[in-house]
Chains A and B, each alone.
Chain A
Amino acid sequence: MIELKNLAKTFAYDKKEAKARQKKVIKDPREGEGVFHAVKNVSFSVEPGKVLGLLGPNGAGKTTTLRMLSTALQPTAGQILINGKDITKDPLYATKQIGFLSGKTGLYHRLTVQENVEYFGRMHGLSKDELAKRVEQIFSMLDMHSFAGKRADDLSTGMSQRASIARAVIHNPKVLVFDEPTTGLDVISAKTVLDFIESYRGTDMSVIFSTHHLHEVEQLCDHVCLIDLGESKFNGTTQEFAELSDKGDLYSAFLNVVNLKEVA
């Protein structure tokens, strides 16, 4: 189980940035004196076997939250607990427990798919036997044997995304984080990713799934957390989220929470 408690992240501006920010006509309410509170107070939890949809407009603080979760960024305040252990105090434990995939994370183009996946397996400390077993398991699950020997720069978008998934889960993490993994993918490639996430429902893994596509949330997520202006504005089941609007759909509910009127 993963829990985020009152998570916050503040970035300090240097003088040049602070000057540029002062000139801005439209100011973000999160801007302080020489600082920017990218995440002010975000809390949510995901139980094993459940999928949480992380929603929010652009710049809401989703990626910053996920980067803190993956230990790439150090939180200014708050706790991130995996099975009760605070990972902000033990980032190495976190990297072993978390698998991360975003639309932006890439592969090493001059390595083959197998070399890419094995490289990350070794980085996570898997033994030779463990690695071989795990590679076989994932490649079969994602139907990757046909292109395992291909260089990453020769892959189609769909193949590339499957290879990225394999890379993200090679160390058998207990928490899977997907940051807009279907952005820029065609329908077939996106389906591969969504099917993969679906396959983790009911297992011992917790899945956090950040997306702008509300139909994907409807299809996959048990719970929803909506972040706006660096704060979690909603935490609950997908059904409860939909019920926030009179129409009972996620789209209207989203606009209600972020205080925007629905475009007719």
Chain B
Amino acid sequence: MWLIYKKEILEMLRDKRTLIFSILLPTLIFPVIFFFIGKFTMDKTKEAQEKEINIAFVNTVAMPGLEDLFTKEKGFHKKSLESDDFESAILDKKVDYILEVPEGNGLPALVRKQQQINLYYKGSSRLNNILTSRVNKVMEAFNNAQRRQLGDAYNLSNDNVKAFNKPVEVERKNFASKREKTGEMVGPMTAYILILLAVAGAMYPALEIGVGEKERGTLETLLLTPMRKSHIVLAKFAVIFTTSFLSVAVTLLSYLFWTYIFTMGGKALNLDFLSNISSFDILLVGVLLIPLTSIFASIMLCASIYAKNMKEAQAYMSPIMMMGFLPVIVAFVPGMELNWKTAMIPVTNVALAMKDLIKGTVDYGLIGVLLISTLAIAGGMLYFATQFFKKEKVLFRS
């Protein structure tokens, strides 16, 4: 047994692919990738922590010192409101937060009982969470000051004690819809699953009709027919694309079906937000996957045709899959949003757009930009695949 074990290990160590995938990837490449993703995440978090927050104050004269705490804090910018429509002001992004002291409320240290402050904002992303935590930090500073003043007082009643412990009860009114909040969690998951399906759906047919044909000897037979090489590769691409897209399309159709079933259960199942996702949005998710699936189909076809045998082809598939997932991970780093820049990054842009479609916050103009950029890349990849397939060195690589 030991003899066989030693011989197998020796052979594996002499296989460059084993060395790359078993040793080089986990010891060097993965840490480098994780380092860059970690650094990227930290940079984005820092960016969110330093982002200027536009805050408006309503009736804060009733609580002297509260407004000063915010305006003295770095990164807060005082804005005045043009109307009493708080919701529009926030949704139109005129301000990020509105702090309102309701009529009849004053400083807890003077009134000696708990007071209320209303905080209006829109929070449905991790970026919002970071911003809100900064607002909470200032509010906590205000509460601490009030506690100190209350501690000096004598004859504390129950209300006084309550006020001492928690001088201000902040009642949060988040204008983000349930769909937005749930979509923030469901969106990334949906993007992961659909992109995984698109990649996995392309892999098997790519192996089968690329290197599989090479191994069985049918590729050479095919090349001896009057069919043009570009037509052969386009047909093969179409097969991989169809299979890959079909798995995604079936998932989306099944989603529509189950949405209908679940929404019949409605509030009882707490899934009524699903009914807000329109068929058009689901259709757009499908449309987004067309160029993405094309990119994966072209890359996998090239890798499969290039490989000498099935083992080599499978070795190429793992990094391709990883290269497919890394941009998805990057897409869900806090602070990453679909904008003109990110709409140009392949895979990341589709993942971000899917999240926004599920949340119902998508900018349809950006979807157009995204589609144009991804289709351009998909077209480029397909052209590369047709040229690659014409190379004798690739077809008869041995």
Contact = CB atoms under 8 A, between A and B. Distances in A.
B216 A109 contact: yes
Closest 10 A-B residue pairs measured CB to CB? A106-B217, A123-B225, A106-B216, A104-B217, A95-B226, A105-B217, A105-B221, A106-B218, A92-B226, A100-B224
Given A123-B226, A123-B227, A125-B226, A106 B396 contact: no
B220 A105 contact: yes
Nearest to B393: A11
Nearest to A11: B393
Contact of A73 (B218, B222, B225, B396): B396
B392 interface: yes
A96 interface: yes
A98 interface: yes
Number of chain A interface residues as a range: 20 to 34
Contacts of B225: 95, 120, 123-124
Interface stretch (A64-72, A142-150, A215-223): A64-72
A155 B222 CA distance: 21
A72 B226 contact: no
Contacts of B224: 70-72, 95, 98, 100
Interface string A104-125: 1111110000000000100111
Interface residues of B, number: 15
18 contacts: A11-B392, A11-B393, A72-B224, A73-B392, A95-B224, A96-B226, A100-B224, A102-B220, A105-B220, A106-B216, A106-B217, A107-B216, A107-B218, A108-B218, A109-B216, A120-B225, A123-B227, A124-B226
Interface in B211-244: 216-218, 220-227
Contacts of B216: 106-109
A123 B217 CA distance: 17
B163 interface: no
Given A104-B220, A123-B226, 17 more contacts: A11-B392, A67-B396, A72-B223, A92-B226, A95-B224, A100-B221, A102-B220, A105-B217, A106-B216, A106-B218, A107-B216, A108-B218, A109-B216, A120-B225, A123-B225, A124-B225, A124-B226
Contacts of A98: 224
Contacts of B395: 72
Nearest to A72: B223
Contacts of B392: 11, 72-74
